[in-house]
Amino acid sequence: MTTLATYSSTDPGLPSFDSKLQLGQAEPLGIGVKRVAMEQLELGAGGFFDGEDQFRSAVHDSRRAIKKVRSLLRLVRGELTDKIYRYEDKSLRNTGRLTSELRSSAVVVEAASLVEDLYGEMLAEGMFEELISRLAQRRDVIELRALEDPDMIGRLVGDMERAYHRYSAWPTDPDARKVYGLGIRDRFKSIQSGLADTYERGRTEMVTAYTRPTVLHFHLWRKRAKYLRYQMEFLVPLWPEVIVGMAVTLDRLGLLLGEDHDLAELLTLIHERPDMCPSPRERSLFSALVTQRRAELQLAAEILGRRIYAENPDSLRSRFGEYWESRQLALDLPLDTVIVY
């Protein structure tokens, strides 16, 4: 029988690539997009029913699920009406914003702890312990407030459940476009503009980040790189050996830019709330170390970014078009043919 293998990473040094997040072996594009989007929304909402001790994890999972769904919407944007795309993207963006403060309060603790770990051997014993303790207390207060606010959690889960039910009603027959104005056709043209646009905007944001280096510009680049990373994961079956490598690099790029953004948020917080680090001398030292770390992260991100965005968008579009066509040819092979990646 014809076999198109999906890819699932088992190397602990590599990011996880779940075959459930990938377009199936012979799965039509519209069915695959709908399936993955619904599974992610279900996962993102379900974590909030696992108990208070899993709350932080649930927040993280919900935010990641929303990003993955938004990346898929961007990929097939050309197949959705502009009205549908804008409504769904805005809805998910607003849902994600409900947990922005929770996410921020948690990551600044992690960022401060990382700085202590990185430079601890050069510092006096106990340096930054009070800062980390105060940041952790602030995080706990924010999380407790959220846990005690059923309206916030209810709205978050409700928004994701409503999106799930909307997507469940999406027709999977491409011919339904004639009736409903919605139907994702199983062809490369359905994703080529979304893929090229995600890539091109990331490329542009990278250039802007280094010509006008601000926290906002690096953050915008990170968002575009994340969208492209999740799109690559969905498209892994087109050519696993090549696309997995690109997804791995994008994953590492996202980690570098994520740490940079978390450190920038931490510096802003300390500037606005000096009570988090009462000692002016300690604040000055911490700021210097964070600035040094951010410079290292941005240099490393530039190296990876130059590799990811080396080709122009038209070249990328053509290359993935060939991958898509080769997948279609493989599906047409005789049933006794086996393709192993």
Q: What is the pLDDT of residue 15?
A: 59
Both tokens of residue 32? Answer: 């695959």
Burial of 15 (C-beta count, 10 Å sphere; 0-12/13-18/19+): middle
Please name the residues in contact with 55: beta carbons below 8 A apart, sequence gap of 6 or more: 48, 143, 146, 147
Please write down the HEC assignment for all residues of 172-217: CCHHHHHHHCCCCCCCCHHHHHHHHHHHHHHHHHHHHHHHCCCHHH
- Domain limits, the chain: 25-331
Q: What is the pLDDT of residue 26?
A: 86
Q: What is the pLDDT of residue 178?
A: 74
> Would you write out the chain's pLDDT as a tens digit for each of its 341 residues?
334 444 455 454 555 677 889 998 889 999 999 999 999 999 999 988 887 778 889 999 999 999 999 999 999 998 988 899 999 999 999 999 999 999 999 999 999 999 999 987 887 777 889 999 999 999 999 999 998 887 888 999 999 999 999 999 988 887 777 777 778 899 999 999 999 999 999 999 999 999 999 999 999 999 999 999 999 999 999 999 899 999 999 999 999 999 999 999 999 999 999 999 988 999 999 999 999 999 999 999 999 999 999 999 999 999 999 999 998 887 765 655 555 54
CA distance 100 to 145: 14
Q: What is the pLDDT of residue 3?
A: 41
CATH class of 25-331: mainly alpha
CA distance 47 to 56: 10
Buried/exposed code over 192-217 (b: 16+ C-beta within 10 A; e: otherwise): bbbbbbbbbbbbebbebbeeeeebeb
* C-beta separation of 228 from 199 below 8 A: yes
Q: What is the pLDDT of residue 14?
A: 52
Q: Is 173 left (phi over 0), alpha (psi -120 to 50) or beta?
A: beta
Both tokens of residue 37? Answer: 């989007």
Instruction: Write down how long the chain is.
Output: 341
CA distance 131 to 115: 11
CA end-to-end span of the chain:
15
CA distance 32 to 29: 5
* C-beta separation of 254 from 222 below 8 A: yes
CA distance 4 to 6: 7
Tell me the CA distances in angstroms from 57 to 35, 44, 63, 240, 318, one per residue in order. Answer: 23, 10, 10, 30, 39
Q: What is the pTM of this model?
A: 0.89
Q: What is the pLDDT of residue 333?
A: 58
* C-beta separation of 20 from 233 below 8 A: no
